[in-house]
Amino acid sequence: MKKSYLIFAGLAATFSSYAQGNLTNYTEAINKGLVTVEKPGTNQILNEKSGVVFWSDDFSDPNTWTIDNDTIGLGAEFGWSIDSNNDGWFFTNPINSTSGGNYAELSNGDAQAGTQLSNMTYTMTTANPIDVLSLAGTEQVSLSFLQYGALFNDLQEILISVNGVTFTPVGDNSDKDVLSSSGGAAYDNPDNKLINLAPYIAGFGSSVWIQFRWTTAFPNSASNPNVWITYGWMIDDVELVTNPSNDITINSYNFGSAGLPYYQIPVAQIAPIDFSAQVTNNGALDQPGSMLSVDVTGTSSYNGTSATSTIAVGSTDSLFTTTQFTPSSTIGSSDIALSISSDSTDLYGDDNPNDNSATETIEITDYLYARDMGVADGGSYNVGEAFEVGPYFDIFADQTLKAIDVTISNSSEPGAIIYGVIYSVDAATGDFIFEGNTDDYQLTSSDVSSGATITLPLFSPFTVLTGRGYLVVAGAYGDAGATNDLVVATSGNSEPQTCFYYDGTDLTWYYTTGTPMVRMNFDQTINIQERLETKISLGQNMPNPFSNNTIIEFELDKQMDIEFEVLDITGKVVKNLSLGTTGAGTHQINLNSDSFRNGIYYYSIKSAEFKVTKKMIIQK
């Protein structure tokens, strides 16, 4: 089993977060025991409660709850506990609840010590049914509670029952970011969660049980101990409240060209942008005339709306603007404001207006193309081992790519080697096809301290084609003697299957939802000076991939002493040839694959002053 790396600094745990997949298939798989973040589920709303509290429990009496920890004599660090003690391994402070005193806490051993138990499901359920209909006079009610914790591979779930036997999931914490090396954070302390129960108890509101349940989010990977790690989950001040009359909520929204959001767009790649939102009615009344509105101001302007829709109580609908937004070619930023409304909220107001809007900013540029949001909020790495990571791009017009820009995290180490690669994407298979790469770049102390953006010129300009998809990555060869040698900064989250990570130890592509800060750079002035100074020109091996033999050409502009070497994906030198004093002109190397296994390799021509590297693939 592949090992998992844990690094702790205060309350920030840096676990790498990846899931395996390709461009067309959503695969529930994990690497290093980690998972991607899902969109918020319907009927979950993340706002302040309103209405009348008609039932509450602050855990002052533990006997009002029934705990099933499925463990005997293992202590409070396994399963649910109700007391005023902090029992978990990660959090040193308790939940900041209104009531204070006792609270409920979920633990499953100590991840640092590796004592987590596998194949566990821990539940905490109200000991007695709640007669909602008698207490509230209505079944239009919501569950409210305070929580604190963080999400990893665990499923933190809320369920209700109307018979005490069958429990139905009504919410979970999958709307939270995974706390990992790709970003994320612990929940606010406290975080208020509000879940509309009306759709689940209609006609059965006289007997309602509430349950909090913890298990792994990946039961198909139950043999992996990493999927049973939890930071912990604390609960307090559980309440049932009557629903407000009018409350519509943006659960999630999307904007982008061909489905993907681009935050920096070169003029040549401007394309129409679509907007949509998932909207839930969490109020007690139907919401006729529900509509999404989008306003764009700045260097571009736009006003768009969706068709109106009647959203029934407890229902969710997708609203799409009826017209597309095409940014102007003026260089500069534009602010996007999304908002929702209905006939009732227009007349009477929305009881929870804070969840009715969202904002984004995009920038039209001369030559930069970016999927990331521009401000680093995490990093992607593979401690001391070879990896590549980067986002997928749609191309809307032919354009010559000159370089790959990479922003590094200041968690990187000076001296780390970084390179860039561009892959095209096979539309039929989703496979990544090597198209070109950059020279190596060694990080300086200044680069690391500033979290610099490094421009890596391609060896040869590469024309990206209209209608094609491309993956642009930054990579490292790996160094078994180092730790955390290169960390590529991440910024914002992406949909699954749109950003990818190559693990050089198991030779597998995974997807990651933390958006790597790796960008396309179409600046046509790049490479001019480099070409004038370069003394070595190295060609791509032909054929590539190859099974038996391949030809590598290189050109020198003057006589010099030359070495040829081949490295595997881990950075280990597997072949080295001293070519001695070699004259100016074009030369060939005939490379045989007999001594190599299948996989990705890097070959280099180097002298005392220069080193030029390219990638090749052996497929026997």
Report pLDDT digits (tens) over 585-599.
999 999 998 888 888
Q: Of 160, 272, 174, 229, which is closest to residue 5 (Cα–Cα)?
A: 229
DSSP string, 322-380: SS-B---SSSEEEEEEEEEE-HHHHHH--SSGGGSEEEEEEEEESSEEB-S-SS--EEE
Residue 99's contacts (CB-CB under 8 Å, 6 or more residues apart) are 58, 60, 236, 237
* Residue-level pLDDT at 305: 98
Regions of the chain with pLDDT less than 70:
1-50, 72, 180-183, 479-484, 527-535, 569-571
122 near 215, Cβ under 8 Å?
yes
* Residue-level pLDDT at 570: 61
Token representation of residue 572: 């280990």
* Residue-level pLDDT at 5: 23
Q: Of 289, 286, 295, 395, which is closest to residue 337 (Cα–Cα)?
A: 295
Token representation of residue 540: 């791509």
What is the C-alpha to C-alpha distance for residues 479 and 570, in angstroms, rounded to an integer? 7
* Residue-level pLDDT at 480: 53
* Residue-level pLDDT at 50: 59
Residue 115's contacts (CB-CB under 8 Å, 6 or more residues apart) are 109
| Cβ neighbours of 67 (radius 10 Å) | 16
* Residue-level pLDDT at 26: 23
586 near 592, Cβ under 8 Å?
no
Token representation of residue 311: 């959203």
* Residue-level pLDDT at 381: 78
* Residue-level pLDDT at 425: 92
What is the C-alpha to C-alpha distance for residues 341 and 249, in angstroms, rounded to an integer? 9
* Residue-level pLDDT at 479: 66
What is the C-alpha to C-alpha distance for residues 439 and 52, in angstroms, rounded to an integer? 65
* Residue-level pLDDT at 13: 28
What Cα–Cα distance (Å) separates residue 542 from each residue in 373, 586, 589, 617? 39, 15, 11, 11
Q: Which residues on neighbouring strands pair with residue 519, listed in sequence order? A: 405
E strands present in 150-224: 154-161, 168-172, 191-196, 209-216
* Residue-level pLDDT at 601: 85
What is the C-alpha to C-alpha distance for residues 592 and 549, in angstroms, rounded to an integer? 5
What is the C-alpha to C-alpha distance for residues 512 and 20, in angstroms, rounded to an integer? 8
Per-residue model confidence as pLDDT tens digits over 208-241? 999 999 999 989 889 989 899 999 999 999 999 9
523 near 367, Cβ under 8 Å?
yes
* Residue-level pLDDT at 74: 80
What is the C-alpha to C-alpha distance for residues 405 and 474, in angstroms, rounded to an integer? 9
460 near 531, Cβ under 8 Å?
no
Token representation of residue 138: 């209505």
What is the C-alpha to C-alpha distance for residues 5 and 385, in angstroms, rounded to an integer? 12
Q: Which residues on neighbouring strands pair with residue 509, listed in sequence order? A: 502
Q: Which residues on neighbouring strands pair with residue 587, listed in sequence order? A: 554
What Cα–Cα distance (Å) separates residue 206 from each residue in 58, 66, 136, 245? 22, 20, 10, 22
Conformation bin of residue 547: beta by default, left when phi > 0, alpha when psi is -120 to 50: alpha
* Residue-level pLDDT at 599: 82
What is the C-alpha to C-alpha distance for residues 386 and 329, in angstroms, rounded to an integer? 40
Largest Cα–Cα distance in the chain? 95
* Residue-level pLDDT at 151: 93
Q: What domains, with CATH codes, occur in the chain?
A: 35-242 (2.60.120.200), 248-366 (2.60.40.10), 369-521 (2.60.120), 534-618 (2.60.40.1930)
Looking at this protein, which amino acid is placed at residue 14?
T
* Residue-level pLDDT at 534: 52
Strands 518-521 and 399-407, by their bridges, are antiparallel
Q: What's the distance, CA 594 to chain centroid?
A: 40
548 near 598, Cβ under 8 Å?
no
